[in-house]
Amino acid sequence: TNRVFSGAQPSGNMHLGNYLGAFRNWVRLQDSYECIYCVVDMHAITVWQDPAALKDQVREAAAAYLASGVDPKKSILFNQSRVPGHAELAWIFNCVARIGWLNRMTQFKDKAGKNRENASTGLFVYPNLMAADILLYKATHVPVGEDQKQHLELTRDIAQKFNNDYGIELFPLTEPIIQAEGARIMSLRDGTKKMSKSDPSEFSRINLNDDADTLAQKIRKAKTDAELLPPKADMLEGRPEAQNLVGIYAALTDMSRDAVCAQYEGKGFGDFKKALTEVVVTNLAPITEEMARLQKDPAYIDSLLKEGGEKAQALSAPILADVKKAVGFLS
């Protein structure tokens, strides 16, 4: 069977990049794959999370998946820490992956920043846990944003080395599914940085729970340049902020970037931002409303996550048992 695993970290507010780069595609995959969608709370604590806030963030993430169209009847939806196999397999992968491999991970460098000595060791071995998330279910496909491509390559390296070292074809070489439009949504403040939950500036991102006024204000304040929109998208080269806004418009309307440029050719960003605001508000309003509705009933969300966790546990148990046997652990 073709099985998909994907997840997002409950490390803050879910944003437009998560929606266009992940959630929206997850929904589309539900009809052709067996899908497992996880709120990866163990990844979130690689940087400090306030415990009380973390609980709400896990529920917000689950609400965002559901509001985007993830259907718990079709897909498994749960939070990672419920299934202990993630941590167990991650430990084994800590012993498979090489320090040199992890040293090449650009996300660690970005997230650890200048004070690398003070980053948690969890942040450094985060890609090993991600490999465990995927391979604990022998997922064959992972839909990822551009930012996670390197981690997925590491997952394949780990699978291959494990299979080689233990002389058993246990793990598949998982394939990425990367969507063209929306694969990489950039910060509204800096077109060269990706939009992130962990960016300290609220004005850098469009949150899925922003109201219409906040959305309008953020888009109005988004960094742009004084030039006009060109007739073709490749003429936006060297204008990362302009490229990003055109890209967001294209992704939300399912238009090509060229078609968006053609429609607004010769207009300035003042006009374009007004049109973009309308597109963003129209597309996000139903999601924002549904998230708010779901979050009013945390007990319901918790019960869904518990049920999903039981299914994930059942699916992973025989795979983890095979892994332990291959490694030589007594049972």
Query: Using the rule CB under 6 A, is 46 a contact of ligand ATP?
Result: no
Picking from 92, 187, 184, the residue whose alpha carbon sits closest to that of residue 146 is 184
Site string for ligand ATP, 241-280 (x = CB under 6 A): ----------------------------------------
CB of 169 to ligand ATP, least distance (A): 28
Regarding 8 and contact with ligand ATP (CB under 6 A), the answer is yes
Kindly state the tokens that stand for 160: 């291959």
Residue 184 to residue 180: CA distance in whole angstroms: 9
| Minimal distance, residue 302 CB to ligand ATP, in Å | 20
Q: Which residues ranging from 47 to 76 are in contact with ligand ATP (CB under 6 A)?
A: none
196 touching ligand ATP, by CB under 6 A: yes
Q: Which of 3, 11, 24, 242 binds ligand ATP (CB under 6 A)?
A: 11
The answer to whether 144 contacts ligand ATP (rule: CB under 6 A) is yes
Binder of ligand ATP out of 194, 218, 257, 273 (CB under 6 A) = 194
Question: Are the C-beta atoms of 99 and 164 separated by less than 8 Å?
Answer: no
Q: Which two tokens stand for residue 31?
A: 């009809």
Number of chain residues interacting with ligand ATP (CB under 6 A): 20
Residue showing the smallest CB distance to ligand ATP in the complex:
21
Instruction: Kindly tell me which residue out of 18, 49, 68, 174 binds ligand ATP, with binding defined by CB under 6 A.
Output: 18
Residue type, 252: L
Residue 222 three-state SS: coil
- According to the binding rule CB under 6 A, does residue 184 interact with ligand ATP? yes
Rounded CA-CA distance 281/306 in Å is 33
Residue 57 or residue 295: which is nearer to ligand ATP going by CB?
A: 57
Closest approach of Cβ 81 to ligand ATP, in Å?
15
Burial 132-154 (b: 16+ CB within 10 A, else e): bbbbbbbbbbbbbbebbebbbbb
Give the DSSP H/E element, type plus range, for residue 285: helix 269-295
Query: What are the residues whose beta carbons fall under 8 Å from the beta carbon of 71, sequence distance 6 or more?
Result: 27, 30
Q: How far is the CB of 214 from ligand ATP (least distance, A)?
A: 18
Compute CA distances 9 → 106, 197, 219, 296, whole Å. 18, 9, 25, 21
Under the binding rule (CB under 6 A), the answer on residue 21 touching ligand ATP is: yes
H-helix or E-strand spanning residue 143: strand 141-143
Q: Which residues are catalytic?
A: 111, 194, 197
Q: Residue positions in the annotated binding site?
A: 9-11, 17-18, 133, 145-147, 185, 194-198
Q: Residue positions in the annotated binding site for L-tryptophan?
A: 133
Footprint of ligand ATP (CB under 6 A): 8-9, 11, 17-18, 20-22, 144-145, 147-148, 183-185, 194-198
